[in-house]
């Protein structure tokens, strides 16, 4: 069961996250994005997910996925599967979160994860800057 403030991320916010991710990669020339992603990788977030209060969690444990699973299962293996499946379906699978009950896309299914909206930081992974 999800913490009280956590909900499944809508397909629209996920689409926005992809766009923000692309902008961040371009603006930081990829290097800044990689450093930022490495710093927060164990929280189930990418830089865009952090900015938009989203998080990838394990479907089995309902906990944020670690850096290894984020990289190997979501991006490497999931990316390979999506890279093959999306063209074979003429791009229809890109819109998979719009009809899936958990708003999952193909790489979420492959990696056993789903993306949630976590505005209150239910897992306590963001530093508290108010006390600094």
- Could you report the per-residue pLDDT of 10-31, keeping only the tens digit for each? 999 999 999 999 999 999 999 9
pLDDT cut 70: percent of the chain above it: 96
In a domain, 20, yes or no: yes
Could you tell me what percent of the chain has a pLDDT over 90?
78
Structural domain includes residue 126: no
> Is residue 74 a part of any domain in this protein?
yes
pLDDT at 66: 92
129 pLDDT more than 80: no
Structural domain contains residue 2: no
Tens digit of pLDDT for each residue in 109-125?
A: 999 999 999 999 999 88
Tell me, yes or no, whether 96 lies in a domain: yes
Enclosing domain of residue 109 = 7-121
Partners of residue 64 on adjacent β-strands: 57
Give the 3-state DSSP-derived string for the chain, with helices as H, strands as E and coil as C: CCCCCCEECCHHHHHHHHHHHHHHHHHCCCHHHHHHHHHHHHHCCCHHHHHCCEEEEECCCCCECCHHHHHHHHHHHHHHHHHHHHHHCCCHHHHHHHCCCCCCCHHHHHHCEEEEECCCCCCCCCCCHHHC
Domain assignment present for residue 127? The answer is: no
* Number of domain units in the chain: 1
Query: What would the pLDDT profile of 68-82 be if each residue is shown by its tens digit?
Result: 888 898 889 988 999
130 within a domain of the structure (yes/no):
no
Q: What is the pLDDT of residue 128?
A: 67
């Amino acid at each position: 069961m999800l913490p009280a403030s956590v909900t499944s991320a809508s397909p629209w916010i996920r689409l926005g996250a992809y766009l923000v991710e692309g902008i961040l990669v371009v603006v930081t020339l990829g290097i800044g994005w990689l450093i930022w992603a490495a710093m927060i990788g164990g929280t189930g977030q990418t830089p865009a997910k952090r900015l938009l209060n989203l998080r990838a969690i394990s479907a089995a444990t309902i906990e944020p996925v670690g850096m290894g699973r984020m990289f190997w299962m979501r991006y490497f293996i999931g990316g390979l599967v999506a890279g093959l499946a999306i063209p074979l379906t003429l791009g229809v699978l890109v819109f998979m979160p719009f009809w899936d009950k958990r708003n999952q896309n193909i790489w979420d299914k492959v990696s056993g994860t789903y993306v949630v909206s976590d505005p209150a930081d239910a897992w306590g992974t963001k530093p508290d800057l108010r006390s600094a």
